[in-house]
């Protein structure tokens, strides 16, 4: 029997079958890493501003109550529901997400994981070589 000592214990030497399995797993890992997808083009995607509103419980004439920028968490999914990418909105409410041309749905979530602010998903289409403008207003829940 071909065995080695390790820390006072006998362990079996690697078998040809085990070595072959490790080799195949390594080759597959390299292949799959190469298939991770190409980087999206730098001149194509979706961009916009995310705001939250209303910000006042009662809007009165002559007292403006504008929506405010909101740093939401964004998720882009394709028509079959597969997550394509996730992004964060900056403190000024702006975002820019490079994407391949195609149809997508943009979902926005509260940064704290709570139910508000809330929004529905926004469908959009990206054309090759251009940026699709998509501004989102999230519902603050104030009424």
Specify the CATH number for the domain of residue 119.
2.60.40.10
User: 66 CB contacts (<8 Å, ≥6 apart)?
Assistant: 53, 55
Residue by residue, pLDDT tens for the chain (143 residues) are 455 555 555 555 555 554 444 444 443 343 333 444 567 678 899 999 999 988 888 877 888 888 999 989 999 999 999 999 999 999 999 999 999 999 999 999 887 766 667 677 899 999 999 999 999 988 887 76
Q: Are residues 24 and 88 in the same domain?
A: no
Q: Are residues 13 and 52 in the same domain?
A: no
The whole-model pTM stands at 0.66
Cα dihedral 7→12→13→19 (10° resolution) = -120
> Which of 101, 82, 85, 105 is CA-nearest to residue 41?
101
What is the Cα–Cα distance from 55 to 112, expressed in whole angstroms? Answer: 18
The reply to whether 19 falls in a domain is yes
Q: Are residues 29 and 50 in the same domain?
A: no
């Amino acid at each position: 029997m071909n065995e080695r000592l390790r820390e006072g214990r006998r362990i079996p030497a690697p078998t040809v079958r085990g070595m072959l399995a490790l080799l195949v797993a390594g080759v597959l890992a390299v292949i799959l890493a190469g298939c991770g997808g190409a980087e999206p083009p730098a001149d194509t995607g979706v961009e916009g501003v995310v705001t939250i509103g209303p910000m006042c419980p009662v809007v009165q004439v002559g007292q403006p109550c504008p929506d405010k920028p909101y740093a939401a968490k964004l998720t882009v999914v394709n028509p079959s529901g597969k997550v394509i990418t996730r992004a964060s909105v900056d403190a000024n409410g702006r975002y820019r997400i490079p994407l391949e041309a195609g149809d997508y749905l943009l979902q926005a979530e509260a940064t704290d994981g709570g139910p508000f602010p809330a929004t529905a998903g926004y469908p959009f289409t990206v054309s090759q070589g251009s940026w699709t403008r998509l501004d989102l207003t999230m519902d603050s829940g104030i009424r």
